[in-house]
Each structure stands twice: as C-alpha cells, then as structure tokens.
Amino acid sequence: MKIPMLDLHAQYEALMPEIRRQLDKVFASHHYIMGAQVKEFEEKMQGYLGIKHAIGCASGTDALVLAVKALQIGQGDEIITTPFTFFATASSIWRNHARPVFVDIDPKTFNLDPSKIEAAITPNTKAIMPVHLFGQCSDMPAIMDIARRHNLKVIEDNAQGIGSTWDNKMSCSFGDIGTLSFFPSKNLGAMGDAGMCLTNDDDLAAALRQLRVHGEGPKYYHKCVGLNSRLDTVQAAVLLVKLDHLAAWSKARRANAAFYDRHLAGIDGLTTPYIDPKAQTIYNQYTLIASRRDELMQHLKKKDLACAVYYPLPLHLQECFSEMGGKQGDMPVSEELAEKVLSIPIYPELTEDMQQYVVDSITEFYR
Ligand SMILES: *Cc1c(COP(=O)(O)O)cnc(C)c1O
C-alpha cells in the first residue's frame, strides 16, 4: 500500500463538475480581478466564521503582511511570536521592517506559551502574533488578557486552523485581525495561492481593503503604499464550492485522529497529539512526538508511507534572521521538538485500511 501525505485527487473527483460550472461563469464574465465571486466568498466566510469583515487577498503570507501594515507596525517595532511555525509568520513582520521577537512554545500544544510572553515585552512591542499550529487554537483568552494589560494588538496567524475553536469561540475572532491561507494543503485549499484577513473592526477592514489595492482610493490617488494582493476570482469560485464541505472534512480528520489516538497512544517512545480540553482542533496536521524520529521516518518511507517534519529548524535559528543573534539554547522547547516531531497522513479521505497500515508500520518499528 502507498499512502501520500495528502490526496487532493479524491476531493477533485467529487467536486469537479460543480467547480467547472463555477469556473465557466468566471471565464465567461471576464471579471478576472475582483469579480462577483470574490465578494460572494467573502460574505460566505463572514457568515461561516461569524466575523464582520472578510478581506480576500493573494496568499496567507500576504494576509499577514497586510495585517501588520494595517496596524501601522513598522521600523523600530517588535512583534512577539513563536519560532515553531511556518516561515511566513515571521517573514511578514520582517518585510514590514519590524522585528519578530520569539517566545518559546508550550511543549504539549506546540503553541505560544502565554506564561513566557510578558518577559519578552519591551517599550517597542506593538503586537503579539500567535499561530494556531496544526489546527489547534492557542489559549487566546490568556493572550488577549496580556495584550489588553500592555496595550498590544493581536494578529492571529490562523493559516492552519480555519474553523477551530477555543471555548466554542471561533479562531480569528479573538484578536484585532485574523489571517487565513487557502494554500492547497490547508483544510480549505484553493487551486493555487489565496488568503484572507478577518476583522470585526470597521477601520481596520477599510485599511486592509485599501492596502490590498496599492493603498489606492480614489483610483490613481494613493494615501499609502500598499500591495497588489487581491483574491483571484478564479480561486474565489473554487473556494465557494469547497467551503460547503469544510466542516465535513474537518470532522473526518478528527475521526481519523481518534483512530490513531486509540491505536498509537500506548506505544513506548511515542506521544500522540495533546489537544487542550477547551480546544476543538481541525487537525491540519496530526503530529507525533517520536523518539528515534529519523529512523522511524526511514522505516515508514521504506513502507511507501509518507510522513513529514513540520518544522525542522525553528525560526530563531534561520540564517536570514542571524543578525538578530538567535542561538541554539534560546528556545529549548522548540529546538527539542524540531528534532522529535513527525506528522503522518490525516487527510479526510484516508480509509480505515490505510490508517491500520500506518498504525501497523509504526507499531512494528517500536516493537
Ligand atoms: C501556510 C502558512 C502560511 C502562509 O500561507 P501561504 O498561503 O502559503 O502564503 C502562514 N503561516 C502559517 C502558519 C502557515 O502554515
């Protein structure tokens, strides 16, 4: 049996007739930039998440760049964030000429550890940027409490956590701005790059809408320098069709996770994902903590079983950030986990036979 990390073909087969109908409408309308489907998708997302404003843009990375810009954070400013995340979390801060200040993560949830945030606050700190890693919402009440006491803004990088909740409240609805990615491997994936900002604040929404079109308004008059970062009409049409299936897909991922939990929990040398009782995760990834991780990877590869390390090098140790002086030992939890985490296939279309094969292969390794 061969098992990939993600199988987009299964989704494609089922939805393609409807997606093609929607795409035909876009092509015939010739409104390739900011066509009707963009607004329709934004409104549908507002309803889905229960957030007042949804602003589509070109990628999850751009959503973060736009969010930092809309909050007027730049040169000389600092944003507290996690080093255990995809690169774009920190690069969005850097590209606005501000500095990411890394704070270590909770060893169980892999999310920003609220108890370590206050020690990192300086007079230059302007915001906190938590990431809902692998689909699990961070402890947002704790983070919002710190932010309020220190007068800081909050940007939720929710690229991996669309539809996840904390105490039944939607991720993206806690902070000043939440961001989403529709990269094809996210739970709601486009057929190319796409992203979105969410906010309940009317002024921030207006700023984001202006920033995504070169800071323009009225046309050819520029109050500030923005980006060219719109949600493509073609991608909006695809996402409109897919959004109807998102809840079922995330539910299927949770069912798959429950199967793994049942069969992998007892294995010596392995820790299954910890989900906080207050959180409902969407399992963008199912990530184990594994002793002899690299050997296990080799073993699984020999069995034609895909697996992946998210992420092998914490961001404070990335070469591009070397001028900030981050070094080994600064973020011990992230550094240790970078050597031990392993994500295994969790996509909704996995069958029980496939999951059993994964479980058997892992069990065999540790026996
Ligand atoms: C995917 C991802 C992004 C970037 O999204 P793109 O759409 O690929 O630009 C940002 N942050 C995190 C945590 C991500 O996983």
Confidence of residue 10 (pLDDT cuts 50, 70, 90): confident
Whether 291 has a pLDDT exceeding 90, the answer reads yes
Report if residue 21 sits inside a domain.
yes
> What contacts 255, CB < 8 A, 6 or more positions away?
none
| Pocket residue to mutate for ligand 1, from 86, 95, 110, 112, most atoms within 8 A of Cβ | 86
Same domain for 133 and 146, yes or no, is yes
Same domain for 172 and 262, yes or no, is no
CA of 367 to the centre of ligand 1 (A): 37
Same domain for 280 and 192, yes or no, is no
**Residues paired with 305 in a beta bridge:** 3
Domain boundaries, position 289: 246-366
CA of 183 to the centre of ligand 1 (A): 7
CA proximity to 165, closest of 197, 134, 207, 136 = 136
CA of 84 to the centre of ligand 1 (A): 13
Same domain for 279 and 320, yes or no, is yes
CA of 88 to the centre of ligand 1 (A): 6
Tell me, rounded to whole angstroms, the distance of Cα 80 from its chain centroid.
17
Report if residue 3 sits inside a domain.
no
Report if residue 40 sits inside a domain.
yes
- Residue 289: which CATH number? 3.90.1150.10
146-165 pLDDT, tens per residue? 999 999 999 999 999 999 99
φ/ψ of 117, rounded to 5, equals: -70, -45
Write out the two tokens for 96: 């606005």
- Residue 134: which CATH number? 3.40.640.10
Q: What is the CA radius of gyration of the chain?
A: 21
CA of 322 to the centre of ligand 1 (A): 22
Predicted pLDDT at 179: 98
Report if residue 97 sits inside a domain.
yes
State the average pLDDT over residues 129-143. 98
State the average pLDDT over residues 171-185. 98
Same domain for 160 and 175, yes or no, is yes
CA proximity to 55, closest of 240, 160, 207 = 207
- The CA distance from 33 to 252, in Å, is 34
At which residue do the structure tokens 């939890």 appear? 333
Same domain for 274 and 213, yes or no, is no
| Pocket residue to mutate for ligand 1, from 134, 181, 193, 239, most atoms within 8 A of Cβ | 181
Closest residue by Cα to atom 14, ligand 1, is: 159
Same domain for 214 and 263, yes or no, is no
Same domain for 267 and 235, yes or no, is no
**Residues paired with 270 in a beta bridge:** 290
Same domain for 97 and 191, yes or no, is yes
Instruction: Quote the strand ranges of 235-364, DSSP E.
Output: 270-271, 279-280, 286-290, 341-344
Which H helix or E strand runs over 302? helix 293-302
Confidence of residue 324 (pLDDT cuts 50, 70, 90): very high
Confidence of residue 11 (pLDDT cuts 50, 70, 90): confident
Average pLDDT score, the chain: 97
Of 193, 216, 243, which residue is a domain's last?
Answer: 243
Q: How many domains, in total, are found in the chain?
A: 2
Same domain for 202 and 340, yes or no, is no
